[in-house]
Amino acid sequence: METKILALIPARGGSKSIPRKNVLLFAGHPLIAFSIAAGLDADSVNRVVVSTDNAEIAEVSRRYGAEAPFVRPAEFAQDDTLDFPVFQHALEWLAENENYNPQIVVQLRPTSPIRPKDIVDRAVRILLEHPEADSVRGVVPAEQNPYKMWRLDEKERMQSLLSLDGIAEPHNTPRQFLPSTYWQTGHIDVIRAETILRKHSMSGSVILPLMIDQRFSVDIDTLQDWQRAEWLISQGDLEIVTPRNLPDSSIA
């Protein structure tokens, strides 16, 4: 029996840092179209759904090939809304209204549009090959090692953020002698549906890494991030997933 794999793209309409961010043209397409393309182009994905509270985002998503079968409730589209209730709502709605119950859910955030072409299938393959795993998360090597970071105590004195067995002063230790550390990116999370619905978690306890080339690591939160990401694409050095077609350019 074919494994049901759902790509779910969370895209609320209330962005404040960049208003209408998800539908603004980015490198010639609405920003959300890049995440839709990543789901549609993946051999492993059976269905691409956008969870949104916004009619404009839903319309643009459908034009680029995704489904938007429901309206996300307002209480799950606030500035402080976490991923979990959004994904729980989507899975429960699809089960109750369409009797659709995927085994695996792929999260594709619109704010990370620069993705390697094989990223989704690689991540799904890792999860399928490791039945003990709850999820797979995209990571890159951390630019700053947390063993060299500090916190301030109640007297404003510096204290090491982390301790390390066998090394008295990790903050004074050459980087090559410290453990490698990794930063989670927004490119992709692949999660077993039961991890969300039964364990009430977006990651579970057994999380495996998908290593991503650091050149692809762009998360768009500000206009400066947006400009840098478009510049990276314009250089033509990165083979990325791009939207399949360009509907009329009335969206801007």
pLDDT of residue 15: 81
Closest CA to 124 of 183, 49, 45: 45
pLDDT of residue 248: 54
Cβ atoms of 147 and 100 within 8 Å: the answer is: no
How far apart are the C-alpha atoms of 95 and 107, rounded to whole Å?
A: 18
How far apart are the C-alpha atoms of 233 and 144, rounded to whole Å?
A: 25
How far apart are the C-alpha atoms of 200 and 191, rounded to whole Å?
A: 12
CA 208 vs CA 40, 49, 131, 182: distances in Å? 24, 24, 11, 12
pLDDT of residue 133: 98
How far apart are the C-alpha atoms of 234 and 244, rounded to whole Å?
A: 18
What's the full length of the chain, in residues? 252
Domain ranges in the chain are 5-141+184-234, 146-177
pLDDT of residue 245: 63
The tens digit of pLDDT for each residue in 83-111 reads 999 999 999 999 999 999 999 999 999 99
pLDDT of residue 79: 87
Q: What is the pTM of this model?
A: 0.92
Point out the residues of the chain with pLDDT beneath 50.
249-250, 252
Among the CATH numbers 1.10.150.120, 3.30.565.10, 2.60.120.200, 3.90.550.10, which is that of 5-141+184-234?
Answer: 3.90.550.10
The tens digit of pLDDT for each residue in 99-155 reads 999 999 999 999 999 999 999 999 999 999 999 999 999 999 998 999 999 999 999
- Report angle CA 58, 64, 70 to the nearest 5 degrees: 25
